[in-house]
Chain A
Amino acid sequence: MTVLGCNGKNGACTRLISVSTVPGGNRLARDNPEDWSRTHTYCPGCGRTYCDRCTAGLGPSRRCHECGDTVTDPDTDRRTRLTPAMAAHHRGLRMFQDGRWEQALAAFDEAVGLPGAPAGSHFTRGLLLFRLGRHDEALSSFTTTARIDPGHADAHHYTGVIHLRGGRATLAATAFDRALGHDPAHLYAAAMRMEALTRAGRPRDCVRIGERTLAAAKNPDFTALASVYALLGDALQHLHRDEEALAMLDIASGIGEDDPAVHRVRAAVLRRLHRDEEAALAARLAAAIGDRP
């Protein structure tokens, strides 16, 4: 007899789900309908399971409360039944979303050990290892991910991040370039690459990457977008394209969180543009932001 817990009511539902193969079903479940559900749905997105009542509570759209995916009825759609690897993958995702890192990692360890494990299992395992500070193992997972799915831009990006942390700048640059090659709108990879190029004194390359990424971006993440604008502004001011730099920096400061570096650069650009009063305000603001706890 397989017994599942219901994840409905934001985890507050206490009913159990009987997934019995016995003809007529689990007798205990049959006799206690208040506490047991004999049918259920699950979410392919996050793997959550819902009892019959909570499924009804999802409404006609049957959207998972947690991730918004449409829940599936395993009793009527046998073809979508999870493989053991996918089951472990979903369990891992659910733990991940709940912040239970160690249990999530165990689930993904199980998933990647089973046949048919998706690239996503390796990638998410990599993220968990990265989060837990086990960078070498994480790098291995990202590498495996990229081997299974060479177009996985995020895997290349995180590979680059780990190389960068390990002081392997060239390998990092290669990884970021690969990420951008597969996804020209990958703002995080672009930001990392641009930062490295700025540090390397290559503002022109930095501008080229920034402009190309912004041109390709669609529905961007605004945190990364602000970073790209800020780095682009910084690169442009190195090239003395001050008006353009100021426009980029103003956007960066407008859409992103307050960053003292952005305002410091703004102050410098404004001074060069002889807008001294504004420059003084920008410098003061940079100092104030920098002083914040």
Chain B
Amino acid sequence: MGVEWRTGETVLDLYRVNDVIESGGMGTVYHVSHLGWDIDLAIKVAKEVTPQRVDLFAREAETWVRLGLHPHTVSCAYVRRYEDAPLVFAEWVAGGTLEQAITKRRLYRGDDRDVLRRLLGVVVQFAWGLRHAHDSGLIHQDLKPSNVLLTEEPDSTVKITDFGLARARAVAAGAAPARPGSTLAVTGAGLFTPAYRSPEQGQGAATLTKATDIWSWAITVFEIFAGTTPLQAGENAHTFFAAWLVDDQRDTSIPAMPARLAALLRRCFETDPRRRTVRMDEAISELLAIYRAEIGSPYDREEPSAAALRADQNNNRALSLLDLGRPDDARHAWEEALAAEPYHRHSVYNLGLHRWRRGEMTSTRLDADLRAAASARDEDPEVDHLRAMVLLEGGHPAAAAQLLTGIAPTATAVTPDGRVIIALGNGSAQVRLVASGELLSSWAGADGFVAVSADGSTAACGTHGAVVAVHDATTGAQRARITLPAEPSALALDPTGAVLVAACVDSSVTTWLVSTGVRRHTLQPGIRFPRDTVGRLRFTPDGSAITWLDLLLLRLRTWDAQSGFLLDSVPYGRGTDLDPSARHSFTGTRHDPGLPSAVALSYELTDDELTDDEPPGMGLSRPLPPAAGDDPDVEAVSIDETYAVLNHDEIWDLTSGRMLRRRGSIEDSDPITDTGAGGVTTAPGGKTRAFLEFNGAGPRMSWSYARPLGAETISAAFTAVRRALDTTDPATGAAAAAALRKARDLPGHRRDPALLDLWARVGRQGRPSTLLDAWPIQEIPVPGDRRSAAITPDGRHIVLQADSEIQIRGARSGDPHLTLADQVTAMALAATGRLLTADPGHGLRLWDLAGPDNPRTLARPSGTISSIRVSGDGSLAVTRDPAGSFRLWDLAAARRIPNPPGAPGQADSVRLGPTGELLFVTDLRRQLSLWQVHDGRQRRGPHGPLISDPLGVSGDGRTALLREWGDRVVWTFDVERGEPVHRLAGHAGPVRHGLFTDDGRTAVTAGEDGTIRVWDVTSGAGRHTLPGHRGRISGMNLAGVGSLIAVRGGRFLISAGHDHVVRVWDLDTGTAAGVLGPGDEATGSDDGRFVLVRDAAVARLWELDWDIDFPERPLR
């Protein structure tokens, strides 16, 4: 095995070794500190695992990760492979082993009563830990005092460690695999500790059960009270225990074992495992009773609950599984993580990276998902780091540097491992760690070109003219100033930063010793004629050679770095020099191996001449990536077989077996190159070929591990959350909110779906006071030219209209419930979760989206219904045909009710008031009249300059918003008195939308001038003008979907504008509260928890997380 670390060393770029502990059973245990997370971990390296059996070991060890979290088991964070060694990363427990506590007598300090309390406490905790393992289906097989750890005093929590490792070591050492149906494999001789083995282990039984652990547990308890290792061979424990109980010579400084405990152990020492029926549940009850009887009080520790793996733990587990070559299991673990916490940033990144590399998604999509993960938290630097890593791997170092530094860089350099990035901009240089974004150093006076050594220790950058400054990248200290023969046009440093090579505009290529600033070799002499030299310099990874790609001459030259001798000089491809006679051979290429740089790939645009019997890969010497599918279509391969176009439009990096991007993604704003290039040429013979220029692959970026939390923390959080869910009464309002806030602040539970559901119920007692967060949870395609999307007011369903087809889907699941392909001419959603549709074949139908009896037919087909409107309370509907005739419907009774007798027979538009009491009719002359539905009486309506269809009616039906001729001025209109009240003037263009907040005190209008105006209804005074949207605010559509949504409680508003942005506004302060990404139109659930945004051909459901306050005045 190649793992031999020393104390003080930094390993795997991330861990500082604090101590090296030789463990008898396992091998070597390294006590390390994670440099990023500031926590300690134990890295366990098995000593007896042969390289051929690493996978077997790791697979078994991984069962420990799945054990989940419990305060009395040591948690395993993840398993990784390193240089053919499986590394098990586990929680570090600082207090030593139980064995040490026994032999060093720490367990026996104090008077008899104290000692007995302590010993019984250890036994109880030990039992709790073992029960958790058994409940999880895991058998330890090697229980003993040295596999029981104690945290530091005075807490001294007991934790069982090394789960699964006995079996892992056994399997890895070549023991027989588990028999079908058995729970455990044969362990193999020598892989458990003889002093603690059960009789069946001693006999080499083929199948082991939990009873084996019961035996070993009992021996360990026996040892705790004996104060010494009582046995040589564990299978004789029953005999020794019986003798010890009556032994006069036993250690009297240790309290005697209580008789009931002795009785329990006797049952555990039943030699036949089938008759050893003690279960840990039963043992724990007995132990707690013993404690109470002996100590005189109940055990003072609360019985902990096992915590389900949350998003962080599942993410880490997924990475372990991926490392172990189980991608499907890894994907499942990520899905579990995302179910526990939607848009969990580590999981979004890792799963996305995994899928991107396999060609299942584009980097553009991954970047969008990461941005969604950060949405509504204006700036999330951690997500920016992850986005930068995606950009870097995709070959966009400048874009990555911009995200990390916040400045548009003029030059960047990245270490080959993608760990360190240096960006030049605004006259200064910044050195940052990519994974964390941490600024390592910076200095001023940097300009032009930049280079970094492969080890990340040294940076070189231009200053002015021919002077290059070499800096220590970590500290920023200047190490040398070197005056080159002329202004540089490319720089590179050798892997250790000792030698600088510079290509200059005088055509010279020279090397320099950084330590002295003295020229070492002139690889190519300069001349007095400057030219715009363009090219790339690099050292080979081992530093032995220097390559200079001269892009003017299209030539790659190689020198020996040590001697400066010219080794080779070769033409560097010519992208469009296509060989017309080539039938199957891959045509020309031009790329810069190993660097994120422009690449030209020539290929056959059509492969008509290829025959079916052509083998996959067409003679490639390099295997095609398995992730590309069993039999990928090979469109083209670069001449050096670094890149290929597979499956029509996927560009793959064959060296690392990952997909870079899809050709089509150039349209998705993922530039194929930063400059963008591509073209088609026609070669003689009519064969059409194309060349494609794109950025090559960047370094393969690292996975994102979540900081593991202690089992105590997770378990306590889990317990607290369960308690909050069980005990919180939503009706208590503020008190419930306070309890839930605490629960949601517990680690891993911010987006706990159960908590969010309860939080939403509590929220109905109060009103949203702050937008805490928002994240997309569902995305559904909406095909067709004429499309709309709406969510039902209860937030349970979404209704999609694509041309004349209607689809009803579950909002959170996205599952289709109902599809109406009936040429629907009109539809409307009611607040009660019901849907009205009209189509020529079925007439007017009412659908109860949550109910079983669907649909109810209100009217048989008789002419076309062109619009449907429903009252705010969902009790009445009014339909209108293309000629303007309208009809009223009682939805509860599912029948038509008569129109008011004096109302116009035809209307330009009709709408109902919020309660269905009032009918607003705009006749064909565009005069508005108001009618009482129940008795058909006419109310006094507006006159003079006020016109037509009201923009909005307040929730109490007393006030309406009416426009003046010209549409730029809106009036509040007192419906009771039939008089205009306040003139709301200020819009610079026609007003298209208006609404009241649910308290009726605030009106909002929006117009084509791009502004939203907020008005005080009582005084008519303008309160705020909300700028931001450009152009017109999008209009209402046929389904009654609006682009202004008043969030319940009256403080917040959501708007979608023609600028394709969905915004959240705080009406109290007149400021933007957040952005819900791109979109054309939006609808929301009543409680403001869900907002459905239609973004071109996609409907995206957002979940909004509001903080709540509870005003004294109850909300209506």
Smallest beta-carbon distance A219→chain B, Å = 7
13 additional A-B residue pairs with CB within 8 Å, beyond A225-B529, A253-B569, A281-B566: A219-B529, A222-B531, A254-B509, A255-B553, A256-B553, A257-B555, A258-B569, A278-B566, A281-B565, A282-B566, A288-B568, A289-B569, A292-B571
Instruction: Verify if A287 is at the interface (C-beta below 8 Å from B).
Output: no
Per the bound structure, the CA–CA distance linking A251 and B568 in Å amounts to: 16
Chain B residues contacting A253 (CB-CB under 8 Å) are: 524, 566, 569
Per the bound structure, the CA–CA distance linking A231 and B694 in Å amounts to: 40
Instruction: Verify if B680 is at the interface (C-beta below 8 Å from A).
Output: no
Instruction: Verify if A166 is at the interface (C-beta below 8 Å from B).
Output: no
User: Per-position contact with B for A253-293: 1 when CB-CB < 8 Å, else 0?
Assistant: 11111100000000000000000011001100100110010
Say which residue of B507, B565, B568, B571 sits within 8 Å of A254 (CB atoms). Answer: B507
User: Per-position contact with A for B565-591: 1 when CB-CB < 8 Å, else 0?
Assistant: 111111100000000000000000000
Residues of B within 8 A of A (CB): 507-509, 524-525, 527, 529, 531, 553, 555, 563, 565-571
Whether B527 pairs with A251 at a CB distance below 8 angstroms is yes
Say which residue of B527, B563, B569 sits within 8 Å of A285 (CB atoms). Answer: B569
Chain B residues contacting A164 (CB-CB under 8 Å) are: none
Chain B residues contacting A256 (CB-CB under 8 Å) are: 553
Say which residue of B567, B570, B571 sits within 8 Å of A281 (CB atoms). Answer: B567
Per the bound structure, the CA–CA distance linking A258 and B507 in Å amounts to: 15
Per the bound structure, the CA–CA distance linking A247 and B553 in Å amounts to: 20
Instruction: Verify if A217 is at the interface (C-beta below 8 Å from B).
Output: yes
Chain A, residue nearest B568 (CB): A285
Whether B569 pairs with A255 at a CB distance below 8 angstroms is no
Per the bound structure, the CA–CA distance linking A250 and B507 in Å amounts to: 11
Instruction: Verify if A181 is at the interface (C-beta below 8 Å from B).
Output: no
Per the bound structure, the CA–CA distance linking A256 and B554 in Å amounts to: 11
Per the bound structure, the CA–CA distance linking A258 and B527 in Å amounts to: 18
Chain B residues contacting A278 (CB-CB under 8 Å) are: 563, 565-566
User: Per-position contact with B for A217-255: 1 when CB-CB < 8 Å, else 0?
Assistant: 101101001000100000000000000000100110111
Per the bound structure, the CA–CA distance linking A278 and B560 in Å amounts to: 11
Chain B residues contacting A255 (CB-CB under 8 Å) are: 507, 527, 553
Smallest beta-carbon distance A34→chain B, Å = 29
Chain A, residue nearest B569 (CB): A258
Chain A residues contacting B524 (CB-CB under 8 Å) are: 250, 253-254
Whether B567 pairs with A257 at a CB distance below 8 angstroms is no
Whether B525 pairs with A254 at a CB distance below 8 angstroms is yes
Chain A, residue nearest B529 (CB): A220
Chain B residues contacting A289 (CB-CB under 8 Å) are: 569
Per the bound structure, the CA–CA distance linking A257 and B566 in Å amounts to: 15
Smallest beta-carbon distance A213→chain B, Å = 13
Whether A247 pairs with B555 at a CB distance below 8 angstroms is no
Smallest beta-carbon distance B173→chain A, Å = 53
Per the bound structure, the CA–CA distance linking A289 and B555 in Å amounts to: 12
Residues of A within 8 A of B (CB): 217, 219-220, 222, 225, 229, 247, 250-251, 253-258, 277-278, 281-282, 285, 288-289, 292
Chain A residues contacting B568 (CB-CB under 8 Å) are: 285, 288
Chain B residues contacting A220 (CB-CB under 8 Å) are: 529
Chain A residues contacting B508 (CB-CB under 8 Å) are: 254
Per the bound structure, the CA–CA distance linking A97 and B507 in Å amounts to: 31
Chain B, residue nearest A277 (CB): B565
13 A-B residue pairs with CB within 8 Å: A217-B529, A222-B531, A225-B527, A229-B527, A250-B524, A250-B525, A251-B527, A255-B507, A278-B566, A281-B565, A281-B566, A282-B566, A285-B566
Residue among A217, A220, A222, A288 having the largest count of chain B Cβ atoms under 10 Å: A222
Chain A residues contacting B555 (CB-CB under 8 Å) are: 257-258
Smallest beta-carbon distance B558→chain A, Å = 10
Chain A residues contacting B531 (CB-CB under 8 Å) are: 222
Smallest beta-carbon distance B1010→chain A, Å = 31
Smallest beta-carbon distance B554→chain A, Å = 9
Whether A258 pairs with B571 at a CB distance below 8 angstroms is yes
Per the bound structure, the CA–CA distance linking A270 and B527 in Å amounts to: 21
Chain A residues contacting B565 (CB-CB under 8 Å) are: 277-278, 281
Residue among B507, B569, B571 having the largest count of chain A Cβ atoms under 10 Å: B569
Per the bound structure, the CA–CA distance linking A256 and B563 in Å amounts to: 23
Per the bound structure, the CA–CA distance linking A225 and B552 in Å amounts to: 15
Nearest 3 A-B pairs (CB), nearest first? A254-B524, A250-B525, A278-B565
Smallest beta-carbon distance B202→chain A, Å = 71
Per the bound structure, the CA–CA distance linking A152 and B529 in Å amounts to: 25
Chain B residues contacting A258 (CB-CB under 8 Å) are: 555, 569-571
Smallest beta-carbon distance A133→chain B, Å = 22
Chain B residues contacting A257 (CB-CB under 8 Å) are: 553, 555
Chain B residues contacting A288 (CB-CB under 8 Å) are: 568
Chain B, residue nearest A229 (CB): B527
Residue among B527, B568, B570 having the largest count of chain A Cβ atoms under 10 Å: B527
Residue among A254, A281, A288 having the largest count of chain B Cβ atoms under 10 Å: A254
Per the bound structure, the CA–CA distance linking A118 and B937 in Å amounts to: 98
Smallest beta-carbon distance B511→chain A, Å = 15
Per the bound structure, the CA–CA distance linking A282 and B569 in Å amounts to: 10
Chain B, residue nearest A289 (CB): B569
Smallest beta-carbon distance A244→chain B, Å = 12
Per the bound structure, the CA–CA distance linking A222 and B567 in Å amounts to: 23
Per the bound structure, the CA–CA distance linking A285 and B571 in Å amounts to: 13
Smallest beta-carbon distance B803→chain A, Å = 35
